[in-house]
Amino acid sequence: MSNPTTYFQPVRTWSGNYLIWMFALVLLVLAGGYCAYHMEHEGHHITGMNNSVVWGLPHVFAISLILAASGALNGATLSSVFGNKLYTPYARLSVVLSVCLLVGGLIVLVLDLGRPDRLAVAMTTYNFRSIFSWNIFLYTGFIAIGVIYLATMLERSLQRFNRPVGALALLWRIVLTSGTGSIFGFLVGRSALDSAILAPLFIALSLVMGSAALALVIPWVSRWQHSSVSLHHAPPTRQSMMKLLLWCVLAVLYFSAVHHVTNLYIAEHRQDEHNVLQGAFAGVFWLGHIAIIATGLVFLQTLRHSGELSSTAWHLLCAVLLIACAMILYTVIIGSQSTPQLLFPDKIITASSFGDAGVPAYRPTSWEWGFGMGGIALSLLLLGLVLRVLPISPTSQS
């Protein structure tokens, strides 16, 4: 199934700056682990989260990693399900990255629980009316399918299952991302979130984030491998990824526009929508959207003219897309909690000890940043370790 000019091998220990990267990632993971430990030991009061903004920055990191995990599988899907040979050298990397990002996201999600020591309870006691319970199966199932998918690429005797397993993985990740969006989409008490369109919005965000993450990881791995594959395949693959990203960016903008414009039309959602568009987090909202629109325009112009971007510009734009999507998620997750819940539509709240009248405050602390960055580092560390052991990295035939 692989391109004849390409073969795969594990990363050599001393190649590139592999060990330096691994050491730096270990340090970041340890720092993140300490932040998580400190938060569990002292309690969540050391974070910016409170009883009004109950899900904070760690959730933005966790959901971003989970969405990127789902989208990072694009490379493998395009290769094995849709037969696009440009992505074949990166199909293995795409699957491994996807699983590693998911593991990192889940670790952040679990460690942010008030009682992470009760993970066994969460894994054994289910309430099937809760989308959260369903997501536990969707996430663990995704990891299992990812491992099998990888096996169909690594093991010659299993290669005939590559396409059907790839199709199953595609279907699974669509359901998984819809499930993640649905966590937020059916909260009747929060009008900023109470919308089924969050599920397709999350799918579009996942496609952008995952593709951008894959595009950023490819040169990183190539440097470790001293591989020229990324250079040989760069222009056509980059053009193809640019087209893909452009369509996904348009999808994000479309679903986001529908979500916010309909909220402006629905009388009971209008006040919350004004808070999103003009309130405390409006800067994050607009900056995220402007960044994603600007990147889309650059892609459009590039594709209309030369079709080529310098490596630096390409990677910079991919990084901008990742951050912009995380900012949009930030406004969905935190911005939506930063509007007062409407308890009495016909009244003005003049006094309350629980902040019912005003806009709840939230400022993430360094513990949350450290914890979230630790999750990203853990995903990359796992990726580096898997690349060291398995023949994942594409390289030119000598």
Partner 1 sequence: MQSSSTNNKNSKAQQARRRFLQKLGLLGAAADSYTLLELQAKTTASAASGDKRWGLLIDTSKCASGCDACVRGCNTEHGIDASDSDLTRAQWIRKIDLKDKLTGKESSLPVMCQHCDSAPCVDVCPTGASFKRADGVVLVNKHTCIGCRYCMMACPYKARSFIHENLTEQKPSAPRGKGTVESCTLCVHRIDSEQDMQPACAVACTDEAHSAIVFGDLNDPDSNISRQLQSAGGSQIRSDLQLNTGVRYHGL
What b/e string do you get for 2-29 counting C-beta neighbours within 10 Å, with b at 16 or more? bbeebbbeebeeebbebeebbeebeebb
Considering only residues 43 to 82 of the shown chain, the ones binding partner 1 according to CB under 8 A are 43-45, 49-52, 54-55
Interactions with partner 1, residue window 144-183 (CB under 8 A): 183
CB of 254 to partner 1, least distance (A): 26
Contact range with partner 1 by CB under 8 A, out of 61-69, 87-95, 335-343, 386-394: 335-343
Of the pair 106, 381, the CB lying nearest partner 1 is at 106
- Would you give the binding string for partner 1 spanning residues 112-151, x where CB under 8 A is met? -xxxx-xx-xx--xxx-xxxxx--x---------------
Residues 6+ apart with CB under 8 A from 99: 69, 142, 143, 146, 147, 150
Return the range that interacts with partner 1 (CB under 8 A); candidates 187-195, 370-378, 379-387, 390-398: 187-195
Out of 267, 305, 344, 398, the only residue in the binding site for partner 1 (CB under 8 A) is 344
Window 99 to 118, contacts with partner 1 (CB under 8 A): 113-116, 118
Binding partner 1 (rule: CB under 8 A), the pick from 5, 140, 278, 352 is 352
Q: Answer yes or no: are the C-beta atoms of 97 and 393 closer than 8 Å.
A: no
**Among 265, 346, 389, 398, contact with partner 1 (rule: CB under 8 A):** 346
4 or 345: CB nearest partner 1 = 345
Nearest to 95 by CA among 387, 314, 395, 374: 387
| 95 CB-near residues (< 8 Å, 6+ apart) | 73, 76, 146, 149, 150, 153, 169
Does position 196 interact with partner 1 (CB under 8 A)? The reply is no
Site for partner 1 in 21-40 (CB under 8 A): 40
Cα dist from 89 to 73, 95, 137, 222, 252, whole Å: 13, 12, 30, 11, 28
Q: Minimum distance from CB of 5 to partner 1 (Å)? A: 48
Which C-beta is closer to partner 1: that of 51 or that of 398? 51
Residues 6+ apart with CB under 8 A from 355: 52, 340
The reply on whether position 365 binds partner 1 by CB under 8 A is no
Q: What is the DSSP string of 37-87?
A: HHHHHH-GGGSS--SSS-S-HHHHHHHHHHHHHHHHTHHHHHHHTT--GGG
- Does position 267 interact with partner 1 (CB under 8 A)? The reply is no
Q: Closest approach of Cβ 334 to partner 1, in Å?
A: 12
Count of positions on this chain that bind partner 1 (CB under 8 A):
51
Q: Which is nearer to partner 1, 340 or 391 (CB)?
A: 340
Tokens linked to 71: 């989208």
Question: 355's torsion region: left (phi>0), alpha (psi -120 to 50) or beta?
Answer: left
Of the chain, the end-to-end C-alpha distance in Å amounts to: 19
Residue of 168, 174, 187, 287 interacting with partner 1 (CB under 8 A): 187
| Interface residues toward partner 1, by CB under 8 A | 40, 42-45, 49-52, 54-55, 113-116, 118-119, 121-122, 125-127, 129-133, 136, 183, 187-190, 337, 341-344, 346-356, 360-361
